[in-house]
Chains A and B, each alone.
Chain A
């Protein structure tokens, strides 16, 4: 039995502290994906909290034949999509209601380094579906089959999204070079 499966069994047997071990094991990796995907710390932390809460509430439905990390990532990807949709909705509301702009959440960039800020800006420019596929493939280093299981999108469509993301980045480089 893997460490993850053993910890899940301990939680289901009533040991809440075992869930802390699972959170510790996956928090940083999930945080990286959420921040890269959503582009700011506040939204990423919302997605992370919702992900670990939902996973905890659904832990008795987790099947040991699945890898815990893949199961958790499926929840994370969905939560990032929800937070992004909510943010888009919120930003539309802000445009309509100027007074609410005063309460807009802090959008402080996560990184202090110039390269890191630049990379985040470049990623944020990508269409969200292309960004999601690109991050899962090259940052989280998942196989296309794993990505398909996570997202519910076919392998060929995912390959196309990753290719388009790479094309967009390369085109951006060409524009920079000629400016």
Chain B
């Protein structure tokens, strides 16, 4: 078949009709924008990635030697300041930054759109699928519901429960395999120390 193949007049008529613009809910676009505004800026991840991206530095032998000498100097100074004024050796305190993050310290924000809901709960393997444990908060402008929860690193399966009974997967997340109970669930992958 070629692009220029003659189409049947009936098929041409279907194409012509289907090319007409569709009428959608005029508020739907606004809801998209509203959902975007509660998202973190995408540039943050770009900046972080750029900072931590592996890079190759090429140094001339002279620059390399100077850099090595500088590093040795820093080590000597650091050794010197580890003594107090009275000559006692200071007890080394582990810095806060050096501590590994507790695995449950990753904060994740869940957002769900349900304009007609009276209440929405987040359920998942992290709260024993208990509807009462993690109620979501409705945004000031209406249909958007959100909640932040601390999660451990790893793979989490979750869903939203609307008005106590209607189970819904997250339309913006990967779909989890059937849980065997006829419910649609979603998957969230959480990296250690990541947030939102």
Contacts and interface: CB of A to CB of B under 8 A. Distances in A.
Interface of A: 11-14, 16, 19-20, 23-24, 27-28, 31-32, 35-36, 41, 44-50, 52-54, 56-60, 82-83, 85-86, 89-90, 93, 96-97, 100, 103, 110-112, 115-116, 119, 122-123, 135, 138-139, 143-144, 159-160, 162-163, 166, 169-170, 172-173
Interface of B: 1, 3, 7-8, 10-11, 14-15, 17-25, 28-29, 31-33, 35-37, 39, 41-43, 45-46, 49, 113, 165-166, 169, 171-172, 175, 178, 182-184
Contacts of B113: 49
Nearest to A123: B18
Contacts of A116: 17, 20
A54 B182 contact: no
Contact of B17 (A103, A119, A144): A119
A160 B1 CA distance: 8
A135 B22 CA distance: 14
B172 A50 contact: yes
Secondary structure at the A interface, as helix, strand, loop or mixed, is: helix
A176 to B, nearest CB: 8
Contact of A83 (B22, B29, B171): B171
5 contacts: A24-B29, A82-B175, A86-B169, A103-B166, A173-B11
Contact of B36 (A12, A16, A50, A144): A16
Contacts of B3: 143-144
A14 B32 contact: no
A50 B168 CA distance: 14
A14 B178 CA distance: 39
B22 A32 contact: yes
Contacts of B45: 60
